[in-house]
Amino acid sequence: MDEDVKEILITEDEIKARIKELGILISEDYKEKFPLLICILRGAFLFLADLVKETKIPLSIDFMAISTYAGKTESSGEVKILKDLDTSIEGRHVLIIEDIVDTGLTMDSVTRLLKTRKPKSLKICTLLDKVERRRIKVNIDYFGFKIPNKFVVGYGLDYEEKYRNLPYIGVLKEEIYKEGSINI
């Protein structure tokens, strides 16, 4: 275990097993729909990669990078697009692949934006769901794990761009946080 990690919340094997189940579910639900999976960068990159390997249907993928304005400006709920999609989503069955839904502000904002582009359907698949922290209702169609209100890293999720390469989801030690930089 990484020395900055206090506890492992979800092991590599647990992640693998759950993603297998999600792959089966998504393959059934999107059979003959040629869905477009939109990976929200950067946190969801590993999740997307492992998830698509567990699907058995034709699909396409695209990427979107956004800044979430964590901290002070979080309450505005507006996201800034750092990298937009290359694909038109009009008439497509779109599935957003996200790492974690926390307050819900990011997913609310992203879905509002994407709906204006007229997809045929728009659903959300998140690896982690921090239910207790929700400030705005978000319809989550697929989730990997519901987790408690703890700041987690690993399997794509970072703290100051570190820890994305850990193969598990772990709780970061409090002493690693810089004062005030995490709003938890």
DSSP-based three-state secondary structure for 92 = coil
Q: Determine the Cα–Cα distance for residues 49 and 51; give it in Å rounded to an integer.
A: 6
Q: Judged by CB under 6 A, does residue 8 bind ligand 5GP?
A: no
- What CA dihedral angle connects 124, 107, 164 and 61, to 10 degrees? 50
In this chain, which stretch among 12-20, 29-37, 46-54, 102-110 interacts with ligand 5GP, using CB under 6 A? 102-110
How far separated are the first and last CA of the chain, in Å rounded?
A: 23
For this structure, is 99 an active site residue?
Answer: no
Task: Give the per-residue contact string, 117-156, with ligand 5GP (x = CB under 6 A; - = no).
Answer: -------------x--------------------xxx---
Q: Which is nearer to ligand 5GP, 69 or 85 (CB)?
A: 69
Interface positions, 62-91, toward ligand 5GP (CB under 6 A): 68, 70
In sequence order, what are the residues at sequence separation of 6 or more whose Cβ sits closer than 8 angstroms to the Cβ of residue 38?
61, 62, 63, 64, 85, 89, 94, 95, 96, 97, 114
Q: Judged by CB under 6 A, does residue 46 bind ligand 5GP?
A: no
Chain residues in the site for ligand 5GP (CB under 6 A): 43, 68, 70, 99-106, 130, 151-153, 157-159
